[in-house]
Amino acid sequence: MGNKITSRKEDYSKWYNDIVINADLAENSEVRGCMVIKPYGFSIWELMKKELDQMFKDTGHQNAYFPLFVPKSLFEAEEKNAEGFAKECAIVTHYRLKNDPKKKGKLILDPESKLEEELIVRPTSEAVIWKTYKKWIQSYRDLPILINQWANVVRWEMRTRLFLRTSEFLWQEGHTAHSTKDEAMSECLLINNIYAEFAEKFMAMPVLKGSKSEAERFAGAEETLCIEALMQDGKALQAGTSHFLGQNFAKAFDVKFADKSGKLDYVWATSWGVSTRLMGALIMTHSDDKGLVLPPNLAPTQVVIIPMIKSEESKNKIEELSDKIFNDLKSNGVRVKIDSRENFTLGYKLNDYELKGIPIRLVIGQQEIENDEYEIFSRDDFNKIKSNSDDILNNIIKSLDDVQNRMLSKAKKRLNDNTHEVSSYDKFKEIIESQSGFVYCGWDGEASSEESIKKETKATIRCIVGNGEDKDLKCIYSGNPAKHKVIFAKSY
Amino acid sequence: MGNKITSRKEDYSKWYNDIVINADLAENSEVRGCMVIKPYGFSIWELMKKELDQMFKDTGHQNAYFPLFVPKSLFEAEEKNAEGFAKECAIVTHYRLKNDPKKKGKLILDPESKLEEELIVRPTSEAVIWKTYKKWIQSYRDLPILINQWANVVRWEMRTRLFLRTSEFLWQEGHTAHSTKDEAMSECLLINNIYAEFAEKFMAMPVLKGSKSEAERFAGAEETLCIEALMQDGKALQAGTSHFLGQNFAKAFDVKFADKSGKLDYVWATSWGVSTRLMGALIMTHSDDKGLVLPPNLAPTQVVIIPMIKSEESKNKIEELSDKIFNDLKSNGVRVKIDSRENFTLGYKLNDYELKGIPIRLVIGQQEIENDEYEIFSRDDFNKIKSNSDDILNNIIKSLDDVQNRMLSKAKKRLNDNTHEVSSYDKFKEIIESQSGFVYCGWDGEASSEESIKKETKATIRCIVGNGEDKDLKCIYSGNPAKHKVIFAKSY
């Protein structure tokens, strides 16, 4: 099977890759930088999608679909956005292949099929969407527009890592249009809060919320809100962003609306997204040296029942009880499966379910039946709870809740333990170099201080969390009065 | 509003386009041949996806995701497949733009970013998937593989029509691998039956099932099964295909498995798909000159309740009853909405819901309350059923069933009325030219007869439905003994 997982201590980066590969989540494809998301990995992503999609719909958003390609002239329209993505985009130049006259069975570009205007494979869809919104928006009655799309995007990456950084990835991108600045800002905040709630409630992953410094902002945004999670190696991972785009795209695409008095003004915009990167965050938040650990709320299989049949005499009783528990759990909405495969040993099965992070497992054999005592095994802490058959349904359901809560508490504790507040740059450097984690401090708001810190320590501002509330706060770098309270960390 | 729909009689093609545009389903984008699927259109597609996805999962299939790009060398590997798609594919040649030195703010291809090997935007994913399956398959224990993906694909089209033929479209593509020919053939058949069941049960669209002639087969397949529906203008629409790929892709990518005795053999394959083209089929099967008509099973809103408040005195009672019916329907799983917008007239609302094809509508005003008599309006036949408030929940639920059944019956009747069996070529031509529809006849199995008929009448073999059962059957074209019984039609 070759599912030996490198330990975190030995090589954190290899540990991550081993889990992705051995738990059957994803693998590299033949296409540089693009991954294959395998069925098990994809089923986790499907659960994430389902929950997020419902949260978006509950807050009035609708799904739609916009083209994969962005004509170059549209791509150029919002200059900062274009500049931000120009260096990492896949470009379609031709629309036909023809037989290679020199090599039988081989194909070459047909030069006659050269496009008049190149098409960019979308790295993000603001341009193509705002060109469309121009047609949809005339008056305040057409606003707000609250649209989301689930799609693939391409950003050409030189160094890729499964889920965390791939040239093609899957994501959702929301694009909203509003008649006032306040309404757009509220939307931006609403979504960032949804992201944080999703991370905590479903991924059991606590996050910090804040806004980005100008250097870290989305290209074309006036403000970027974000959620930042802390991985087990002390590095931060940006898990979701919500952008206030001001009137930048409305101006680039000339999208105006008439208010009630008939006065024309440019439309206000937001855009926001989370991607398959969340899979990487989920894996790195909870997994251990035995494999993947999944929170029940996102586990495709929450409970696995393994009947262990050694003799014909106990076979019926074991199967009967297994089926009963299976059906009871299923009718209570639990995602459960029975593994009665005969050509695999119990040892193999236990190992495989540990590797794949199934939250709860239950082995039912002759001895368990005879004693009417069953062990409910929890993957996250390897604890076993004993139960008789009468209480087993309730005990399993309760255990699922316990696992979810325990995983969140554990992740919260780690976040707290690795969050520091410092006032001297020496201490700052010491923490960043030795243990990393989140470091709170003051910042004078100067890009030069931010850049120097990045150059000297590799730490970047993950988010701004305060704006001058503390009058005595000094910039960690310049010693000048701090403009913002910020969080620094090394990051993915 | 400009929602005047051209009548079918006046201009069928314009009628279709008017419905797509005015019912807010989709529109052309700035990108040649690519469409924007608008929220209302997309919500219908989401329901289709949900139902099909469940049917696939219920039969043991899992979702996964494979790369958007196919390197040219993989694309070439299965020659017939490559030949079939080479002339209509978008090709990525560069991965970076740079500033145009001649024009400020403009971007040009960076020649230094030219790819060593061109990437084809997937027109279908057999190549990239079979290259992956090679890594996954060693022995019979790794089989079958039953995978589906929901994805976008690109086939460069010169003449496009919203939903029916677009350069980019959304679809699902199943790709399965099997250890025996029989198993692969059964899979192929299973899926074609699922497609037919979905069409009938959810789309209320009866279809014919059969297999394709060689000329109409998928490039790289040994057999293509299909479902064919009949549109209101008498033209056929291929609504889904399921391909038996034999060992063609296994050979092209050298995918072998060891059977129980250790003997190596090539793997057997199928692939199958339906696309956003189904939206076109749905629209053209049921809609009328007033707009879209949706079967309740695929209607994002199945019932709309319109409170009509003219005075303060009846306001409370009207709102109370509207809310009660809304809640009762909702808790019975009905997709219902209340439209209490005050800035739109009743006339506008009625018109808009007719245009958008909401199956059932209910207006509640003072008079209805006073008489305790309500009219349940069905969009498909414009009939109104009277009900008192006590029975209204049951009557609405029953009406939804009735609409679904009536729509299917009507479509079946149309299919039957427009299906003909002929034995003379003169009669054949007369029917194809005058009224079109499905024409059953004999075919000698010769590509030359098929091609001549196509040239002379524009009709093609939609599917083969019999193989020599009728010994007396003659080929409609050559008069020679028929090898197959087939269905001809003009088609989309």
Radius of gyration of chain B (CA): 26
Nearest-angstrom CA–CA distance, B44 and A357: 36
The confidence score (pLDDT) of residue B436 equals 83
Q: What percent of chain A has pLDDT over 70?
A: 99
**φ/ψ bin of A468: left (φ > 0), alpha (ψ from -120 to 50), beta (otherwise):** left
Q: Tell whether the model's pLDDT for residue A105 goes beyond 90.
A: no
Could you give the count of Cα atoms lying within 13 Å of A347 in the half-sphere of its Cβ? 1
- Residue A1 banded pLDDT, cuts 50, 70, 90: very low
From chain B, the residues in CB contact with A63 under 8 A are: 39, 42-43, 46
Q: Please, what is the angle between helix A392-417 and helix A277-286, to 10°?
A: 100
- Residue B461 banded pLDDT, cuts 50, 70, 90: very high
CB distance B44 to B300 below 8 Å: yes
Whether the predicted model's global pTM rises above the 0.95 cut: yes
pLDDT in tens, A52-95: 999 999 999 999 999 999 999 999 999 899 999 999 999 999 99
- B81-87: long-range contacts (C-beta < 8 A, 24 or more apart)? B81/B124, B81/B126, B81/B127, B81/B219, B81/B220, B81/B248, B81/B249, B82/A107, B83/B219, B84/B218, B84/B219, B84/B220, B85/B123, B85/B124, B85/B155, B85/B219, B86/A96, B86/A97, B86/A98, B86/A99, B86/A107, B87/A96, B87/A97, B87/A98
| Range A313-338 average pLDDT | 96
Radius of gyration of chain A (CA): 26
Among candidates A481, A472, A369, A420, which has minimal Cα distance to A234? A420
From chain A, the residues in CB contact with B118 under 8 A are: 109
- Please provide the DSSP assignment of B188-222 as one string: HHHHHHHHHHHHHHTS----EEEE--GGGS-TT-S
Kind of pairing between the strands at B114-121 and A114-121: unpaired
CB contact under 8 A, A71 and B30: yes
Q: Tell whether the model's pLDDT for residue B203 goes beyond 90.
A: yes
Burial A111-140 (b: 16+ CB within 10 A, else e): eebebeebbbbbbbbbbbbbbbbbebbeeb
CB contact under 8 A, B68 and A97: no
Nearest-angstrom CA–CA distance, B397 and B302: 10
Nearest-angstrom CA–CA distance, B319 and B312: 11
What residue has token string 């201490």?
A427
Nearest-angstrom CA–CA distance, B336 and B318: 17
CA distance B392 to chain A (A): 28
CB of A154 less than 8 A from some CB of B: yes
Residues 6+ apart with CB under 8 A from B320: none
Please give the interface size between A and B, counted as residue pairs whose CB atoms are below 8 Å apart: 188
The confidence score (pLDDT) of residue A470 equals 84
Among candidates A281, A296, A292, which has minimal Cα distance to A407? A296
Angle at B171 between CA B165 and CA B175, to 5 degrees: 125
Three-state secondary structure call for residue A98: strand
Q: Tell whether the model's pLDDT for residue B286 goes beyond 90.
A: yes
Domain A419-489, CATH among 3.30.110.30, 1.10.260.40, 3.20.20.80, 1.10.3720.10: 3.30.110.30
CB contact under 8 A, B92 and A91: yes
CB of A151 less than 8 A from some CB of B: yes
CB contact under 8 A, A89 and B96: yes
What's the sign of the alpha-carbon dihedral A444, A446, A448, A450? positive
CB contact under 8 A, B93 and A71: no
Report CA A8 to chain centroid distance, whole Å.
Answer: 21
CB contact under 8 A, A91 and B109: yes
**B40, B69, B76, best to mutate vs chain A, most A CBs in 10 Å:** B69
Q: Tell whether the model's pLDDT for residue A483 goes beyond 60.
A: yes
The confidence score (pLDDT) of residue B470 equals 84
**B42, B44, B56, B66, best to mutate vs chain A, most A CBs in 10 Å:** B66
Residues 6+ apart with CB under 8 A from B294: B44, B282, B286, B357, B358, B359, B379
From chain B, the residues in CB contact with A109 under 8 A are: 91, 93, 118
Of the candidates B36, B98, B107, the beta carbon closest to that of A67 is on: B36
Kind of pairing between the strands at A336-338 and B374-378: unpaired
Nearest-angstrom CA–CA distance, A96 and B92: 11
Under CATH, what is the fold of the domain B420-489?
Answer: Translation Initiation Factor IF3 (3.30.110)
From chain B, the residues in CB contact with A112 under 8 A are: none
Three-state secondary structure call for residue B27: strand
From chain A, the residues in CB contact with B93 under 8 A are: 91-94, 109
Q: Tell whether the model's pLDDT for residue B3 goes beyond 60.
A: no
Helical (H) or strand (E) element with A116: strand A114-121
Q: Tell whether the model's pLDDT for residue B346 goes beyond 90.
A: yes
Residues 6+ apart with CB under 8 A from A381: A406
CB distance B464 to B484 below 8 Å: yes
Nearest-angstrom CA–CA distance, B86 and B80: 10
> Virtual CA dihedral for A63, A169, A163, A3, nearest 10 degrees?
100
Alpha-carbon separation of residue A24 from A19, A39, A153, B227 (angstroms):
8, 8, 23, 35
Same topology, domains A12-69+125-286 and A296-403? Answer is no
CB contact under 8 A, A62 and B82: no
CB distance A202 to A294 below 8 Å: no
CB distance B18 to B30 below 8 Å: no
The two tokens of residue B113 are 């970013």
CB contact residues (below 8 A), chain B span 388-407, against chain A: none
Nearest-angstrom CA–CA distance, B23 and B352: 8
- Please provide the DSSP assignment of B352-386 as one string: HHHHHT-SEEEEEEHHHHHHT-EEEEETTT--EEE
Alpha-carbon separation of residue A196 from A212, A216, A278, A407, B423 (angstroms):
16, 19, 12, 16, 69
Residues 6+ apart with CB under 8 A from A394: none
Report the chain B residue with the minimal C-alpha distance to residue A150: B151
CB contact under 8 A, B67 and A93: no
CB contact under 8 A, A131 and B96: no
Q: Looking at domain B301-401, what is its CATH homologous superfamily?
A: Anticodon-binding domain (3.40.50.800)
| Range B284-306 average pLDDT | 98
Of the candidates A82, A107, A170, the beta carbon closest to that of B107 is on: A82
| Range B364-379 average pLDDT | 96
> Virtual CA dihedral for B183, B185, B188, B192, nearest 10 degrees?
-120
The two tokens of residue A120 are 């960019």
Residue type, B302: Q
From chain B, the residues in CB contact with A152 under 8 A are: 68, 151-152
- Residue A227 banded pLDDT, cuts 50, 70, 90: very high
Terminal Cα-to-Cα distance of chain B (whole angstroms) = 30
pLDDT in tens, A156-215: 988 999 999 999 999 999 999 999 999 999 999 999 999 999 999 999 999 999 999 999
Instruction: Say how many C-beta atoms besides its own lie within 10 A of residue B198's C-beta.
Output: 22
Helical (H) or strand (E) element with B434: helix B425-434
Q: What percent of chain B has pLDDT over 90?
A: 94
Domain definitions of chain A by residue range: 12-69+125-286, 296-403, 419-489
Q: Specify the CATH class of A12-69+125-286 in words.
A: alpha beta
- Residue A436 banded pLDDT, cuts 50, 70, 90: confident
Among candidates B12, B43, B38, which has minimal Cα distance to B27? B38
- According to DSSP, the residues that pair with A109 across neighbouring strands are A97
pLDDT in tens, A452-468: 999 999 999 999 998 87
CB contact under 8 A, B67 and A120: no
CB distance A282 to A318 below 8 Å: no
The confidence score (pLDDT) of residue A3 equals 57
CB of B97 less than 8 A from some CB of A: yes
Q: What does CATH list as the number for A296-403?
A: 3.40.50.800
Q: What is the mean pLDDT of chain B?
A: 96
From chain A, the residues in CB contact with B36 under 8 A are: 64-67, 132
Tell me the longest C-alpha to C-alpha distance in chain B: 85
From chain A, the residues in CB contact with B109 under 8 A are: 91, 93, 118
Instruction: Say how many C-beta atoms besides its own lie within 10 A of residue B346's C-beta.
Output: 13
What's the sign of the alpha-carbon dihedral B88, B93, B98, B99? negative
Burial A57-85 (b: 16+ CB within 10 A, else e): eeeebbbbbbbbbbbbebbbbbeebbbbb
Instruction: Say how many C-beta atoms besides its own lie within 10 A of residue B405's C-beta.
Output: 13
The confidence score (pLDDT) of residue B343 equals 85
CA distance B488 to chain A (A): 31
- According to DSSP, the residues that pair with A229 across neighbouring strands are A237
Alpha-carbon separation of residue A84 from A88, A124, A218, B93, B345 (angstroms):
9, 11, 8, 20, 47
CB of A130 less than 8 A from some CB of B: no
Nearest-angstrom CA–CA distance, A451 and A449: 5
Among candidates A137, A136, A88, A95, which has minimal Cα distance to A116? A95
CB distance A55 to A197 below 8 Å: yes
Q: Looking at domain B12-90+123-286, what is its CATH homologous superfamily?
A: Bira Bifunctional Protein; Domain 2 (3.30.930.10)
What residue has token string 């009949």?
B230
Among candidates B491, B458, B461, B465, which has minimal Cα distance to B476? B461
